[in-house]
Amino acid sequence: MESMMTTTTMVTEQPAVSTTPMIEVGWEYDHWDEYGERKKPVLFSIQPMYVNGWTATDIIYNREWLDQADITTSCYGYYAYFINANGTILSEHCMKLYPTWMNDLRSHVGQFRMRELFIPGTHDSASYKKSSNYQENIVTKYSLTQDDDIRKQLLQGVRYIDLRVGYYKVSNPQFWANHGITRLHPLKQILSQVRDYALETNEIIILDVQEFPVGFGKQYDVHDKLIRLLNETLHDVMADPSISWDGRLSEIWAGNKTVILCYDHEYAIRSYPHVVWRSVEQKWGDVQSLEELKSFLFKVHSPYYFRFSNRPVADMAELTPDPWGIITDRYGGLRKMADSVNRFVTKWYFKELGPMANVVAVDFIRGTNIIDAAIYWNQKRVPSGK
């Protein structure tokens, strides 16, 4: 029998050039695996010249596939294959969703604390457009960080939702999901997507209200009003804060309420301890290049820098444009910035950074395989005994 080959293939979206997403294929070649038969038509082919790499195809991503997906969907859309010279399939991979991955791994991850897991997330999760048919301008270039709504992000396997809230006193509704000063969606629409998904799947979701960029001022009355809205909308899915970050996933599941509502304001933690959890600690590099991002992420995971936290810690694994760069459009927008780093972020977290990663939040998550990396490393981890 001939020697066998195994491969890792990544089928992702290339978001850089325009709002029309194209399919990318990445691969890593390791050793031999068992044979299969090729049964599907070839739309794109390449003969790899190196043991690992990426290539952009001319295949346009069809958003209708994700529109049709539900919590039973796994593979969808396109498949990628490694084949030998005889046309025999050596390895097969697909565009994939992980709608219930935490419950699928429940017997293994139930004894973990949230800070002991690798949790895939999105940065500015509500910064998306409902339709891809919009005219791109300087505002959309630097305010949109995702292509999919919250439900679709959750279907893909995202379990950390990073939320920024603006308050507009004379608006109806008054609370909106923002990216900085740009308001994007009524907040209740975002909350309803999280609530409905939790009820449908019983997946544990961290909903982290991190910033309050518009309308809150220095008084606390707007925070009071927001927390009332959060409680009214999510009360039937909100995990009990008394479980605390020291609690294990099994305790959250036992309560049958699986949305961990976090709030990044000390007043809320003091005044509403029965409603909100302390926020996730976000680690920001605020960098503008691939080299700087790598240096930052590897530094925060180094033994010298790494420190224990009693709450989850999020690596904000994306580039951050500086104000003048936005004004002059030096970077071409957040899509282009994400495309310049996402494939490398995937590689880092599959390898060196994976063993110690906790929460990892990225821009344009379909351009990564960070969810695959999270599941891979979670299956290898062992919960602490304390």
Domain ranges of the chain: 28-96, 101-380
**Model confidence at 171: pLDDT above 50:** yes
pLDDT of residue 90: 86
pLDDT of residue 48: 82
What band does 50 get if pLDDT is binned at 50, 70 and 90?
confident
192: tokens are 């309803």
**Model confidence at 39: pLDDT above 60:** no
Topology (CATH) of 101-380: TIM Barrel (3.20.20)
| 272-296 confidence digits (pLDDT tens) | 999 999 999 999 999 999 999 999 9
What band does 6 get if pLDDT is binned at 50, 70 and 90?
very low
Task: Tell me the Cα Rg of the chain.
Answer: 21
Ramachandran assignment for 373, one of left (phi > 0), alpha (psi -120 to 50 degrees), beta (any other):
alpha
pLDDT of residue 18: 56
Whole-angstrom distance, CA of residue 108 vs CA of residue 381: 9
Q: How many CB atoms lie within 10 A of CB 288?
A: 16
| Phi, psi of 64, rounded to the nearest 5 degrees | -65, -25
Q: Contact 333/142 with Cβ under 8 angstroms?
A: yes
Helix or strand or coil: residue 345? helix
| 298-324 confidence digits (pLDDT tens) | 999 987 776 678 899 999 999 999 999
